Structure 1
Amino acid sequence: MSGEMTLRDHARAAVRDEVSRQAWRLFARQGFEATTIDQIAEAAGMSRRTFFRYFTGKDELVLSRLVESGDQIAQALRDRPSDEAAWPALRAAFQHLVELQESHADVARPLQVMLRDEPALRATQQERRTTWLELLTPLVADRLPARRRRTGPDTRAAALTGSALACFEAAQVAWASHPDVPLASLLDEAMESVSG
């Protein structure tokens, strides 16, 4: 079977993207809990029943966008020079999302607050962390020098990746509450504090 997407696959992906776009606009304006599936479906120009052909619920809608962001970071990390050290490569890989969030701050800031404050999204946030960690750790491991005189499991890549993700989250949380400070500066400071 071919790995190429069919016209139907492209159409389905386009519908999912539009539903997701409308949902995130509503989430930014009124919060996750206050936004109903009926509102999302209406904003996307479909029925509630049709919504469930594409998503199992609001949680999946949020998670799918967060997983997509993780895929973008992973691709950016793959695209970095192969001889670049892991920590600066991770910082550079975050840059696309940083620029995207800064250029759409009117939507991105309220969404960061929502992800931080909405109790219903805590499990989704944890699932996102786990997914990003699993996705990025092998790519970071490829950038690490071979271990010398040590045996057993190598925890370096998971530790570096987890630390970088924690820095990214800390920067996003601070940025959501401080619109006068660029997200890039907050991320640089967070990552420098860990590497210093």
Structure 2
Amino acid sequence: MKPAETNTERLWTRSRRAAYAEITDIAMGLFLSRGFEATTIDDIARASGISRRSFFRYFGTKEDIVLDDLVREGEEARHALEERPDSEPPWTALRNVVLSVSGPPEDGDRMLKVSKMMYETPSLRSRCIEKHLRWQDQLVPEVRRRLADGRTGDQWLDVRARSLVACAIACLDAAGEAWVRADGGVPLAELLESAFAAVGDTREP
């Protein structure tokens, strides 16, 4: 590929990312001021200075604007899990990973408002669960490897791995919902530790 073509491609990528970030910021402002369900795609397109057709070049649905970060966080969690020491039991490794990707937010007030909107909006709640299911597919292979630990012939290895990951995601969801109910008055990390400890007390493999 010629250098000029490479530079053009990089410029196009940067422009697309900038436009994506700008539309996201505008849309989130509308959601938080008007309400998610009261804000239409046409409202977002008009406020962003783009057409409705252009909107769908960046987002598949209105819900994706709020939840697309979950996909990125799933990839981060997968990489983080692969980097945890092999000496850590699977449940401990999952706990440490969830704590790392759910660290203190830069803007706690905004995150609290967004989280409230998510838990109170059925369509967002449903999409969040759907994206968390994708986390399972991303995390299960590494958990399966850790559970196997060189052993062969475990016919229940896959279901054990999926159960562990599902429990970890459920802990994350329960802690997030409790954080919202407490209006952010209790640190999210503290709630996560409590949720993981409750499960870990009865099921460390």
Instruction: Name the structure 2 match of 1:99.
Output: 103
The percentage of aligned residue pairs carrying the same residue is: 38
1:65-80 to structure 2, matched below 5 A, reads 65-80=69-84
Name the aligned partner's letter for residue 116 of structure 1.
Y
CA contact (8 A) 1:175 1:186 kept: yes
What's the CA shift for 1:162? 0.3
Instruction: Name the structure 2 match of 1:128.
Output: 131
Q: Which moved more, 1:42-51 or 1:157-166?
A: 42-51
Give the gaps of 5 or more residues in structure 2. none
Query: CA 1:119–1:175 in structure 2 vs 1: closer, same or farther (change >3 Å)?
Result: same
Are 1:192 and 2:192 matched, yes or no?
Answer: no
Q: 2:187 aligns with which of 177, 182, 190?
A: 182
CA contact (8 A) 1:112 1:176 kept: yes
CA contact (8 A) 2:144 2:158 kept: no
The alignment of Structure 1 onto Structure 2 pairs a total of residues equal to 193
- Report the secondary structure of 1:142's partner residue: helix
Query: CA 1:19–1:82 in structure 2 vs 1: closer, same or farther (change >3 Å)?
Result: farther
For 2:77 and 2:49, the matched residues in 1 are separated by 31
Q: TM-score by structure 1 length? A: 0.83
What's the CA shift for 1:73? 1.8
CA contact (8 A) 1:41 1:48 kept: yes
What's the CA shift for 1:39? 3.4
Give the gaps of 5 or more residues in structure 1. none
Q: TM-score by structure 2 length? A: 0.80
For 1:153 and 1:110, the matched residues in 2 are separated by 40
* Bigger Rg, which one: 2
What's the CA shift for 1:129? 2.1
Are 1:117 and 2:120 matched, yes or no?
Answer: yes
How large is the RMSD of aligned CA atoms in angstroms? 2.6
Name the aligned partner's letter for residue 67 of structure 1.
V
CA contact (8 A) 1:141 1:157 kept: yes
For 1:99 and 1:45, the matched residues in 2 are separated by 34
Q: 2:65 aligns with which of 61, 66, 72?
A: 61
1:1-196 to structure 2, matched below 5 A, reads 6-7=9-10, 8-101=12-105, 103-144=106-147, 145-146=149-150, 150-151=154-155, 154-178=158-182, 179-196=184-201
